[in-house]
A and B are shown apart, each in its own frame.
Chain A
Amino acid sequence: MKQHSMRISKSLLLNNSTKCFSTLRCLSTAEAVERRNHLYKLEKKRQLEKVGRIEKIEVNYKGVPKDCTLVMNKDISTPYDCAKHFSEWHIETSALALLDGTIHWDMHRPLTESCTLEFQSFNVAEPQQVNKAFWRSCCLVLGACASVAFKDTVPVVLHSFPGPDIRSGSFIYDVDLPTLPDWQPSAQELHTLAAEYIKLSRRKLPIDRLDVSEELALEMFVDNPHKTGQIPSIAKTNGKVTLYKIDKHVDISKGPMISNSGQIGKVAVTAVHKLTGECKVQK
């Protein structure tokens, strides 16, 4: 996947109403990201402590160099930990884990029961799910760099990332910029956004996953009116919201995601589109 340039379009959701400022509690975007990261860490720690007495599970690994059985820790060990038992090649190329031949599992999600395990790289025989995870992760990272790229004076409210049109080779993230209603980015600004993206992907940051309750998710995204609007419908099925974290950026997605941002490679941010259709819905 490395050294493949792709076209990205980044959508701008324009919301001219200043309604969202009332819930902002005067937090700048950077502070909100920091706060969310802190809450995420606390919750992660709490969930790890909740595991209590460590139980062992048997993981039957299938693949190169040979099939074998690993004894791992229940609710603590991840497929990534399993990959570390094999080689650097396994760590670097595995994007997703396949449990029992059917369930696609994140590399950084703890295993909950004994299972068979296969690693999925980008060139497996049936890469559809891996491809989807790839585009999803690209969107997540785009959101992360959109939230850090602007100055403190420009509030950035992330909306969501719709499923990309894979055939176009591009991915998008809807962002609400209340103070920049008619922003037309110059070539230099787009270049800066892309540079921010590449900086993030070069750090090879792991993409972490956590399931949290609806209340905590609402608390974390209290400064973001779009996300708080989405959370109840997401949590409707089982009361849980799945969060993904890269660096300090926390976002909602159903997943799965690829293992780390280094697998994304080079990209370029090519366009910012103005979205007006959604605007009315928001008002």
Chain B
Amino acid sequence: MNQADVTKLVSKLRIKVPDQHRRLRSPKGPEGRLDKLRKTVTGLIKFERIELNHHRADEARQYAERLISEAILHGDCHKPTMEIADYWLLEKELLHKLFKVLVPRFENSNTAFTKMYKAPKASSGRNIDKAILELRGNPYPLLTNKHSNNRYLLQNVLLDAAKYEYRQAKYAEMADKIGKNEEISQPKSDDVAKSKPINEV
């Protein structure tokens, strides 16, 4: 079989890709769906962090990941890659950003290039899952709490105290066991001591 190894031809994405694509209903059909996704991918590359509906974010994320990985794989002198980038980026100055900013940023990374968070839903209005999609290494402040390992946090103080208590209980248990073992072993040695003289006699 002289079949080429597919995994080396197509860049492998570092995110989970579902079996089926989402339809993202649009009056223009599949073309309208792609238009929507192109807008989102362009927005993501431009602003680096966007908030949108979860379905559209998850769908666009895959295309953005693919676009960046192609750009890294082939560089800006590769014609097909340039065509793909030209198709996905509606604003042409972003082509320069893709190849001159994002490719150097992600060249040596071994994780996904984008990150997606669940966003809070609006308290009123349509009940739609929201998401925040961002490029890694963006200049904005972190969305998650970066101090979760801080041992002075209220929860961590309580957890540490609970762990300490548990450990102390375990130590006490072990000490008890050792004490009992010694008690059992000591009478034995006494027996031996007693038995010896008897034998001698």
Q: Does B171 contact A (CB under 8 A)?
A: no
Compute how far the CA of A128 lies from the CA of B155 in the bound complex, rounded to whole angstroms.
Answer: 12
Give Cα A127–Cα B160 distance, bound, in whole angstroms.
16
Tell whether, in the assembled complex, residue A122 and residue B157 are in contact, meaning their CB atoms are under 8 Å apart: no
Q: Is B157 touching A125 in the complex (CB atoms < 8 A)?
A: no
Contact of B161 with A167 in the complex, beta carbons under 8 Å:
yes
Residue of B nearest to A124 (CB): B147
Q: In the assembly, what is the distance between CA of A134 and CA of B160, in Å? A: 18
Interchain CB contact under 8 A, B154 and A125: no
A278 within 8 A of B: no
**Per-residue interface assignment for chain B, residues 141 to 178, with 1 indicating a CB less than 8 Å from any chain A CB and 0 otherwise:** 10001011010111101101110100000000000000
In angstroms, Cα B157 to Cα A166, docked, is 8
Which B-chain residue is minimally distant from A89 (CB atoms)? B120
- Interfacial chain B residues near A125, Cβ < 8 Å: 147, 150
A95-123 contacts to B (CB < 8 Å): 122-123
Chain A residues, CB < 8 A from B162:
169
Within the assembled complex, what's the spacing in Å between the Cα atoms of A108 and B138?
36
Beta-carbon nearest neighbor of A131 in chain B: B154
With both chains docked as a complex, state the minimum distance between the C-beta of B164 and any C-beta of chain A, in angstroms.
8
B37 CB to closest chain A CB, in angstroms? 29
Decide if A1 is an interface residue (CB 8 Å cutoff). Answer: yes
Contacts of B160 in A (CB 8 A): 167
Q: Name A162-180 residues within 8 Å CB distance of B.
A: 166-169
Please name all residues of chain A whose beta carbon is closer than 8 Å to the beta carbon of B158 when the two chains form the complex: 6, 167, 169
State whether the Cβ of A4 lies closer than 8 Å to any Cβ in chain B.
yes
Select B155's contact among A4, A124, A167, beta carbons within 8 Å: A4
List 12 contacting pairs A-B, 8 Å CB cutoff, sorted by A. Answer: A1-B154, A123-B147, A123-B150, A125-B147, A127-B150, A127-B152, A127-B153, A128-B152, A131-B152, A167-B161, A168-B161, A169-B162
Given contacts A1-B154, A4-B155, A125-B147, 16 further A-B contacts (CB under 8 A): A122-B153, A122-B154, A123-B145, A123-B147, A123-B148, A123-B150, A124-B147, A126-B152, A127-B153, A131-B152, A134-B154, A167-B157, A167-B158, A167-B160, A167-B161, A169-B162
